[in-house]
Chains A and B, each alone.
Chain A
Amino acid sequence: MWKQNLRAISAILIIWLLAVPALAAPLEFNMPKGVTEISRDVYDLHMLTFWICTVIGAVVFLVMMYSMIRFRKSAGAVPAQFHHNTAVEVVWTVIPFIILVVMAAPSGKVLIQMYDTSDAELTVKVTGYQWKWGYEYLDKGVSFFSTLDSASNQARQLDSGIDPATVDHYLLNVDKPLVLPVGVKVRFLFTASDVIHAWWVPAFAIKKDAIPGTFTEAWAKIDEPGTYRGQCAELCGRDHGFMPIVVIAKPKEEFEVWLAEQKTKQAASLPAQGILAVH
């Protein structure tokens, strides 16, 4: 009888989830594996921890569920009176400690790799503004702002009357994306001009604060061409939710061609969308 109810409730829930309007993409439940070796390592670490936590949670849950059924007073259970057991307590202190070591070791290894920004072929300076990003290809003479695209910006106004489902990549589209080469170690330098922002692209497993007055860094070596989207991840004021990041990764040769075109265009239209150095 309860199985029927369970099935009915599940059916209703599933239908409701599927029928939700404005659902442009299949439901994502998990972190993306991403397109860099580091992002895949991060995903693996996440899944390792997730499974360990699930097992621990399940064990606690099952022990308590068992107790609730087996040791009910209404079933005639008579309480034992023991209230300590040193051996057991030692075991469930030491075993978690060992599990932590198992988790900590790969954690340290991946972090050390993430911190090694040496030998990058290209450096991009990323500057956070209220409320847009600025990108500068260091020593290449190319720089520009990247702002929320106008279709999203119009739709997101209060009572705009525009259905977000009709907007291409609502809130995750910009007027001028960052373009990067595939297969090349790219180093990022982050800073900001006003308040703290943060640059987050899940596909690269990069999230770094952009702090006014200083630089933080990260690196990525993108394995696959494609378009990767992210958002600002540090509350930065009114339009914190409206300054997305779009990265287009192109094969190296295409990227060089694109970069050369940008450089020519920018040199020809001084003063164009240049960015003043921020210190």
Chain B
Amino acid sequence: MNDHAMTDDHHDHGPDPHPIRRWIMTTNHKDLGAMYLWLSFAMFLLGGSMALVIRAELFQPGMQLVNPEFFNQMTTMHALIMVFGAIMPAFVGFSNWLLPVMLGAPDMALPRINNWGFWILVVALIIIASTLFLPGGAPAGGWTLYPPLVLQTGASFPFMVFGVHLLGVSSIMGAINVIATILNLRAPGMTLMKMPLFAWSWLITAFLLIAVMPVLAGGVTMLLTDRYFGTSFFNAAGGGDPVLFQHIFWFFGHPEVYIIIMPAFGLISHIIPAFSRKPLFGADSMVYAMCGIAFLSFIVWAHHMFTVGMPLAGELFFTFATMLIAVPTGVKVFNWAATMWRGSLTFETPMLFAIAFVLLFTVGGLSGLMLAMAPVDFQYHDSYFVVAHFHYVMMIGATFGIMAAVYFWLPKWTGHMYDERLGKLHFWSTTIFVNLTFFPMHFAGLAGMPRRIPDYALQFTSFNQISSVGAFGYGISQLLWLYVIIKCIKGGPKAPAKPWEGAEGLEWTLPSPPPYHSFTTPPVIHH
């Protein structure tokens, strides 16, 4: 797809030398990419601490550490922070750093919007996190915000709604930027079907974001007016219906989970071929599969609501449509496996995470297939089986995608090789502990443990103890990751332009690290 590319010429000016003004005012995609990634890591540690509060309380039956109200605040905030503060910003960070250099573009199409998108996100997260300190504490009705329960939230309610609105604004701005960049700034000769898979994954993700974030905004605004302005959207006494909110929320919520995973799909499709020294198997099908998944994601939302009492026809439709998603997803998994087949494999840290991603995301996807079937979902719904499922696909899937990608591109970003021995240690520690944490949750759910409870009956004790030990081990392992990253930034063996023998893409033609402004003249793509 790309042979030689014209690297940057020497007219570039560097970053703003003023240390604070640079980061507040920057419109540079490399700066903003790094800022999003650091924000994401900080939120990952914050959300992770909340998870450890949860797991500490759940280590034993009985209440030892927190009261039930605070526990519910922790479960709610843990999810909000992780989904909107850790995972989504991480992938935005990757989009910022990587899309221009992969496409041969000098920057994103809308650099000033890029800056605003970041800082609005920071304000939104501060507003949401600050609700912990308001009278009555943070929202405690679950990240899913169902009424009527959420309307019992105290003073933090309007801040939560406002925070969610700002999150949406940030995401929509970022998505517009991604689409404008991909459609307009590809280097000459790079047709859409020659475009790297990560760009495809983000093109699709961006359309999903623009389609559904406004729906969430509408839903939370209706909550706001129900609470303060006398409407009855979700109040039966006034002619409304609490279930309406669930439809609105999940119409956003289901595409949202594909927004969360799709960029990881794209990243893995770069990493596995690199370490297999073999082209991605079925690249065209991978694109079509992502499009299929994105389309299907709009017509399956009510599988989150199987117990709500929908008419039979609705339940049947959503069961069958949800099951269908297994087909394009399976295609992707098989294509990754086929890429490795008869390759020449090495197992540096990015590849370890990428392989673990495929295997563990498959586990999560298969439990999702089980959940898709409405009559059996009656036993799984709102139990720890669901908690296991979504943590396997999001917590392990998306997060391992992020970890693989950080290791893969860290030499490019910093100009140094990271410590491979420590990276592998981080991988094994993370993988063992994360499975210890979440695998027992399948059994706890099957045995009858509901979710979002601060205390449990005795037969769930063993599963919970193993999970809690795993969670603390996992948390400590991420401090090792932080150490590896900082150590790499500060120094290490010098990284060449292409540190990975099998890596393909325009970014590998640039020096490591690339100049502040790269591809100010577009490269020409030959084939």
Contact = CB atoms under 8 A, between A and B. Distances in A.
Contacts of B443: 28-30
A165 B376 CA distance: 31
B458 A24 contact: yes
Interface string A94-132: 001100100110011011101100000000000000000
Nearest to A164: B61
B327 A31 contact: no
B366 A53 contact: yes
B282 interface: yes
Interface string B414-427: 00000000000000
Given A64-B340, A71-B340, A158-B67, A20 B382 contact: no
Contacts of A67: 337, 340-343, 345
A30 to B, nearest CB: 5
Contact of B281 (A25, A83, A230): A83
Nearest to B355: A64
Contacts of B453: 231, 240-241
B363 to A, nearest CB: 6
Contacts of B67: 158
A92 B342 CA distance: 18
B189 interface: no
Given A46-B379, A107-B319, A160-B62, A71 B345 contact: yes
A194 B149 CA distance: 8
Interface stretch (B43-51, B213-221, B306-314): B306-314
Contacts of A172: 457
B323 A170 contact: no
Interface stretch (A72-80, A254-262, A263-271): A72-80
Nearest to B312: A115
Contacts of A84: 281-285
A115 B316 CA distance: 11
Given A96-B327, A231-B448, A63 B64 contact: no
B188 interface: no
Interface residues of B, number: 97
A30 B446 contact: yes
A90 to B, nearest CB: 10
Nearest to A80: B342
A36 interface: no
Interface stretch (A133-141, A175-183, A206-214): A206-214
Contact of B362 (A57, A158, A162, A234): A57
A1 interface: no
A22 interface: yes
A83 B341 contact: no
A238 B242 contact: no
Contact of A45 (B340, B376, B462): B376
A96 B326 contact: yes
Contacts of B374: 107, 111
B319 A108 contact: yes
Contact of B382 (A22, A25, A207): A207
Nearest to A18: B462
Interface in A178-234: 190, 194-196, 198, 200, 202, 205-209, 211-217, 230-234
B152 A195 contact: yes
A158 B363 CA distance: 37
Interface in B54-79: 60-69, 72
A238 B323 CA distance: 35
A239 B68 CA distance: 7
Contacts of A5: none
B85 interface: no
Contacts of B451: 235
B307 to A, nearest CB: 5
Contact of B376 (A49, A79, A217): A49
Contacts of A216: 308-309
B263 to A, nearest CB: 22
A275 interface: no
Contacts of A29: 443, 446-447
Interface in B371-387: 373-376, 378-379, 381-383
A145 to B, nearest CB: 20
B333 A77 contact: no
B458 A211 contact: no
B319 A206 contact: no
A94 to B, nearest CB: 9
A230 to B, nearest CB: 7
Interface stretch (B18-26, B92-100, B160-168, B271-279): B271-279
B465 interface: yes
B372 to A, nearest CB: 9
Interface string B312-337: 10011001100110110011011101
Q: Which 9 A-B pairs have the closest CB atoms?
A: A213-B236, A241-B453, A216-B309, A53-B366, A83-B279, A28-B447, A79-B344, A195-B149, A80-B342
6 contacts: A45-B376, A61-B362, A100-B327, A207-B379, A238-B68, A241-B452
Given A171-B457, A241-B456, 6 more contacts: A64-B337, A67-B340, A100-B323, A195-B149, A207-B307, A241-B68
